[in-house]
Amino acid sequence: MDIVKEKKKKITRATFKKFVRENKDLLFVEVHSTFDGMVDGVVAVNDTAIKVTINEEEQDDLHTLGIKGVWLVGHSDDYFSEVNDTLFKGISVMNSCGWFTVKTLKTRGEQNDK
């Protein structure tokens, strides 16, 4: 008996930007680690998910997209993965500057599908 697995599409920077654009009114950012110049490396932080707003003046910034807590390195050095838990859906990003998750609340229908 063959089990058919649904092939997931690779998450790219374009996918990430589209997710941010489509959910800009209800975005949360959770920072897991960040770059610290004092130790010249990435250190863990205890941060909870906070609701953020996009700074309209900086939304075209290539590295932050106008979102506090977000830093994209670019040049294919950002690693994206899907986040899907009981209440949130989103995208987690790891790079040389840290690790953060941008997420939004699921709808009731999406919560019941899990």
Q: What is the pTM of this model?
A: 0.81
pLDDT, tens digit (0-9, with 9 covering 90-100), for 11-33: 999 999 999 999 989 999 999 98
Q: How confident is the model at residue 1 (pLDDT cuts 50, 70, 90)?
A: very low
Query: In the structure encoding, which two tokens stand for residue 10, read together?
Result: 């690779």
The SS3 of residue 13 is helix
Residues in the chain: 114
Strand partners, 41: 36
Query: In the structure encoding, which two tokens stand for residue 56, read together?
Result: 């309209």
Percent above pLDDT 70 for the chain: 90
pLDDT of residue 7: 65
pLDDT, tens digit (0-9, with 9 covering 90-100), for 58-74: 877 788 888 888 889 98
